[in-house]
Amino acid sequence: MTHPAEVFQPLQDDDPRTVAGYRLAARLGAGGMGRVYLSHTPGGRPVALKVVRSELADDPAFRRRFGREIRAARTVKGAYTAELIDADPDGTPPWLATVYVPGPSLTEAVARRGPLPVPAVLWLTAGVAEALQVIHGAGIVHRDLKPSNVLLAADGPRVIDFGIALAADATAHTATGAVIGTPQFMAPEQATGDEVTAATDVFALGQTAAFAALGEPLYGEGSSAGVLYRIVHSRPDLSRLPEQLRPLIARCLAAEPEERVTPAEVVEWCRRELGRDADAGAGPAVWREVAGPEAAVPPPAPEPSPDPTAVRTRPLIAPRGPAAPGPAGPQGPSVPRGPEERRTRRRRFALGAAAALAAGGLLLAAAWTL
């Protein structure tokens, strides 16, 4: 069980305090790509900042692919996605920042309260399918859609990390036979290393919906090899699912990609099953119940305090006020202290100017004579 307050973990000794000018306030989690931190924009808006692991950052192929995926992800702006707002694929290390979503992941929500009721699963599936429409419309395949990449805000789900798994396909560790993604939520063609398309995400959507309804992965737990074997060579057992959900999830989990439903068809099917609730605004009430109490977001990290032992490199500003009388020194000429002294200085300046003009005239006359 994950308590809302446990969403924000304190920074550890090996965590950076700033990344590209973003001051880190807490740790949100970690995954195969790197660590995720809570930070804030200059205006105070919370963001989730992901810092890429050094092993990936050292791979030039990863950086090139990561840069391409970031450029594509900038175009994704949907109601059910976490918008990318800043990134630097060439940074040391590479990083990206998305809008922070105040809510637990689907994994955390199920661990806290158990399987979701059928209406909540329908709302969830429709929202994630709508997110996939936007993501696929930008030319991106998520490739790692799973419960931990679906966050449950009070107004509906948000899909995160879209397209990022593709960048890791070019790294050295994929050449050893490892497959990018999470085994329990892969499609058969992904597990066998065949072409990955938008239909691959639909298979993962069916598995994610089944997880929400069952409280556990549809293809079971165990070793990665065993789970992948079942996904590739066996049909899923849908008898444990609520009867209302079985037709849709069966269409999502078709073995052949071309036989699967599209995200648009998923949205239409879910709205039809929800009936009047789909148009009556019942979704927010469902999400408030599922997401649970919202955790208070920590404030922005304070500016680092100056080191009192540091050597000053800039001169101190002299205090304002009348300067002591005396000749001009390193701090500039002294300030006149009264009207009589000011008049004396003006007379001296005038005499000096006249002498300079006279000397200039003599020089000009000599030059003319020559």
Return the DSSP state at 234: S
Q: What are the φ and ψ backbone dihedral angles of 146, each rounded to 5 degrees?
A: -160, 170
- Poorest-confidence range of 280-284, 303-307, 332-336? 332-336
- Residue 175's Cβ-side half-sphere holds a number of Cα atoms within 13 Å equal to 6
Residue 368's pLDDT band (cuts 50, 70, 90)? very low
Which domains can be identified in the chain, with CATH numbers?
Answer: 7-291 (1.10.510.10)
Residue 363: exposure state from Cβ atoms within 10 A (0-12, 13-18, ≥19): exposed
Identified catalytic residue from 13, 86, 144, 237: 144
Question: E strand or H helix at 195, and its extent?
Answer: none
- Spatial distance between the Cα atoms of 24 and 37, rounded to a whole number of angstroms: 6
Q: What pLDDT, in 10s, does the model give residues 110-169?
A: 998 899 999 999 999 999 999 999 999 988 999 999 999 999 998 889 999 886 766 555
Quick: pLDDT tens for 290-323: 777 777 888 888 876 655 544 444 444 444 444 4
pLDDT in tens, 250-266: 999 999 999 999 999 99
Identity of residue 168: A
Query: When comparing pLDDT for 202 and 353, which is higher?
Result: 202
How far apart, in whole angstroms, are the C-alpha atoms of residue 152 and residue 7? 13
Q: What proportion of the chain, given as a percentage, has pLDDT over 70?
A: 75
Cβ atoms 186, 179 nearer than 8 A: yes
pTM: 0.76
With bands split at pLDDT 50, 70 and 90, how would you rate the model's confidence at 31? Answer: confident
277 phi and psi, to 5 degrees? -60, -25
Characterize 9-32 residue by residue with b for buried, 16 or more Cβ atoms within 10 angstroms of its Cβ, and e for exposed.
eeeeeeeeeebbebbbbbbbeeee
* Closest to 53 in 3D by CA, of 147, 224, 168, 175: 168
Is 144 in the active site? yes
pLDDT band (50, 70, 90) for residue 324: very low
pLDDT (average), residues 192-212: 96
- Which pLDDT band, with edges at 50, 70 and 90, does 348 fall under? low
Q: How far apart are CA 73 and CA 91, in angstroms?
A: 18
